Every structure is written in C-alpha cells, then in structure tokens.
Amino acid sequence: MWVLMPLAFAGMLLKAFRQQLSSLWSALVPLFSFLRTFWLAGPQRKQQQQQHKESQAENQKVEDDLPITPTSVNYHFTRQCNYKCGFCFHTAKTSFVLPLAEAKRGLLWLKDAGMEKINFSGGEPFIHDRGEYLGELVKFCKVDLQLPSVSIVSNGSLIRENWFQRYGDYLDILAISCDSFNEEVNVLIGRGQGKKNHVETLQRLRRWCRDYRVAFKINSVINRFNVDEDMNEQIRALNPVRWKVFQCLLIDGENSGDDALREAERFVISDEEFDGFLDRHKEISCLVPESNQKMKDSYLILDEYMRFLNCKNGRKDPSKSILDVGVEAAIKCSGFDEKMFLKRGGKYMWSKADLQLEW
Ligand code: SF4
C-alpha cells in the first residue's frame, strides 16, 4: 500500500505534464540535431580549411615556379650622364658599355625568351659614341628582331636632328625627362646644363618627334622642388602620348646610403604630397602615376653587363649576366613582380603603328 501510493502519484504527475514534456522534447530535437551536425562538422570544416590553404600554397608555388617572360625590358646600357640630378636612380658607378655585337646577342636571346618591348635608358643613352651605338641597337631591334616596340628614355640634351633622320623610322617612342617648366627649378634639381635651357630643348624635341613620326612621351619625377608646381598648361601644349609621373624613390647604393653617389633624402616627398600633385593634374588624361609602391619591383631592369637588377631589398642587387647563364636562369633573380607590372598598366599600346597618332 505504502509503495503503491508514490507510484500512483508519480503516474498522475507524468500524465499532467505529458503534453508539456512532449512539446519541450519536440523543441529540443532540432537543437540537438543542429549541435550534433555542428560538432561532427567542426573537424570536417577544419580539414576543408586546411586543404584549401594547402591548395592555395601549391597554386602560389606553381605560379612562382612559372618562367617569367621578359615581355618588356629596360636596358640601361650605360651609367654615364652629362646631368647631375640629385635623386638619380642609376648613377655613374662604372663607365662600362658592352661591345655592340655582345649587346645584340643578348637582345636576340631576350627576343627568343618573349621580349616584345625594349626600352633603352641610362645614364644618358645618347652620350655613348654620340648616339651611334644607341641608333644601331634601335635599328637592330626594329629591323632584325622585329620588336613591336622600341623606345628610349633620355634627358634630351644630346639629341641632334641628324639622329632622327637616320634612326627615327625604327623608334616607336621617345620619352624625355622633364621635372619642371621653371628653369631655376631644373637647375636646383641638377638638370641644368650651362647655357642650354631644358624647357627649350623639350620644345625642340617635340617638333622633331612630330616631323619624324616618333611618339613623344614625358617622364617627371615629383620631388621636394617641384611638388607644388602646376604643369597643366605646358603639358597640354606639348601633348605627349603618355605622361609618366613618378614619386621620387630612394634606392640604397644609388641615391641613398654610404656607398651611393647621391644623397636623395632631401628630395623625398610623402605619399600625401604625391597624391596632391596628382590631384592638381587629374584632368590630364595621358597622365600615368607611379607611386613608390608601384614602381619598385614592376620593372625588368638590365644593367650595363646585362644583369637583371633586383630591387626587392631596397637596393639594386645584380643577377648573373644573361650572356653567361642565359635569360631563364638570370631572370629568376630579377625580383620582378609581373602582377604589379600588369597592375600599373605596364602593357599598353606601345607600338607607333597602333597608336594612330595625328602627327
Ligand atoms: S638625367 Fe637621368 S641619368 Fe642623368 S643624372 Fe639625371 S636622372 Fe640620372
């Protein structure tokens, strides 16, 4: 009897709460099932994340191992120059220039490795052999190698009309460095040269480029002395196909550091100052800006020995010469960032045949 009473009482309680218990259970079932899936899926998800990471790393490795194509190459065949720009990125540390036949051999190998554009630079490329060496390389690249684009970057001071008459046909683009339209600022920067006026030289070269059908480009390095200048009017009047605007960059061993020939620290400007210059000239459609970030690793630079220069560590570390180890081996040490090259618009309409200019 005493045993049966609690049992009966428990039975009554159970009956009374059955409905509530049943609805509580129905509510808990999906929660338990969710937690179960979550607990089971936890390790699975971790495994998937790990696999994703591994495949990403593998893809990156495959990308890194892919041979770099030297689509666009800058060959600084001489370091000699008649100017003394205080921020110069490629100073006169040697007077070496390869024999012409050797330089042509290297250019042929680069073409075989996929080169489409060559840019000759320096130092001042017109200084060696009064521009004849340069003329022969330009002609070789256009006629023998049939490169779509052959260009030169020069300070312009040593170019004569006679050079255009002989080699103008083979040249696609001539880029002239001009950092200011104020001659006093040019002198401060180091681009002054005795009685010659850099701005007048620029205007004369613009005429010759029109007369001899060479696309005309301007390169400017924005630095402490020209950062506040308004160049809108002069650039519009010169009407270049492209106006490359660089932010002054420090390169250890070239324009900064103990073993450098220049001390460019006093020329450096902040990113904000550079942006301010760009903003002032934003209406000029041919302006192509290049901040330090974009510029540093996005150029394939060959020095006077045909060694690729790697700027990854803030200085120009040379590879072996392509003439000794071939293009493929040398280019691996170039530090070239192909993605940044494409991002900064490194591949553009660079052949004068395609530019359809109104000369
Ligand atoms: S003209 Fe060019 S190569 Fe010559 S000193 Fe100036 S920056 Fe250097």
Ranges of H-type helices in the chain: 4-65, 100-112, 132-139, 161-167, 183-189, 198-211, 232-238, 271-280, 292-295, 322-325, 327-331, 338-343, 352-355
Give distance in angstroms: CA of 85 to centre of ligand 1: 5
What was the pLDDT predicted at 292?
80
Locate 271 and state its tokens: 């990113």
Q: How many CB atoms lie within 10 A of CB 49?
A: 10
Give distance in angstroms: CA of 82 to centre of ligand 1: 8
314: in domain: yes
1: in domain: no
* Spatial contact of 67 and 337, defined as CB atoms under 8 Å apart: no
61: in domain: no
Write phi, then psi, for 215 (nearest 5 degrees). -65, 135
Supply the residue whose CA is at minimum distance from atom 8 of ligand 1: 88
Give distance in angstroms: CA of 249 to centre of ligand 1: 14
24: in domain: no
What are the Cα distances from residue 329, in Å, to 64, 73, 212, 334?
14, 16, 39, 10
Give distance in angstroms: CA of 60 to centre of ligand 1: 38
What was the pLDDT predicted at 33?
64
**CATH number reported for the structural domain that contains residue 315 in this entry:** 3.20.20.70
Q: Is 141 a catalytic residue?
A: no
180: in domain: yes
What was the pLDDT predicted at 125?
98
* Spatial contact of 172 and 214, defined as CB atoms under 8 Å apart: yes
Distance separating alpha carbons of residues 115 and 328, to the nearest angstrom: 12
Provide the whole-model pTM. Answer: 0.80
What was the pLDDT predicted at 179?
94
Question: Best of 120, 155, 220 to mutate for ligand 1, by most ligand atoms within 8 A of CB?
Answer: 155
**pLDDT tens, 18-73?**
666 566 666 676 666 666 665 656 667 777 777 777 767 666 555 556 688 999 99
Supply the residue whose CA is at minimum distance from atom 6 of ligand 1: 85
What was the pLDDT predicted at 325?
97
What was the pLDDT predicted at 200?
87
What was the pLDDT predicted at 29?
67
150: in domain: yes
* Spatial contact of 149 and 171, defined as CB atoms under 8 Å apart: no
Q: Which residue segment(s) compose the domain that 241 sits in?
A: 72-347
Question: Best of 87, 93, 124, 221 to mutate for ligand 1, by most ligand atoms within 8 A of CB?
Answer: 124
122: in domain: yes
Give distance in angstroms: CA of 154 to centre of ligand 1: 8
**pLDDT tens, 211-229?**
999 999 999 999 999 999 9
Distance separating alpha carbons of residues 60 and 357, to the nearest angstrom: 41
Residues with CB under 6 A from ligand 1: 81, 83-85, 88, 90, 122-124, 155, 177
Q: What is the largest CA-CA distance in the chain?
A: 130
Distance separating alpha carbons of residues 359 and 352, to the nearest angstrom: 11
Give distance in angstroms: CA of 184 to centre of ligand 1: 17
Active-site residue identified among 81, 141, 178, 209: 81
Q: Which atom of ligand 1 is nearest to the CA of 190?
A: 6
Q: Which atom of ligand 1 is nearest to the CA of 91?
A: 8
Active-site residue identified among 85, 178, 209, 248: 85
Low-confidence residues of the chain: pLDDT under 50: none
Distance separating alpha carbons of residues 211 and 205, to the nearest angstrom: 10
Give the count of domains, the chain: 1
What was the pLDDT predicted at 327?
96
What was the pLDDT predicted at 286?
95
141: in domain: yes
Supply the residue whose CA is at minimum distance from atom 7 of ligand 1: 88
Mode of pairing for the β-strands spanning 117-121 and 72-76: parallel
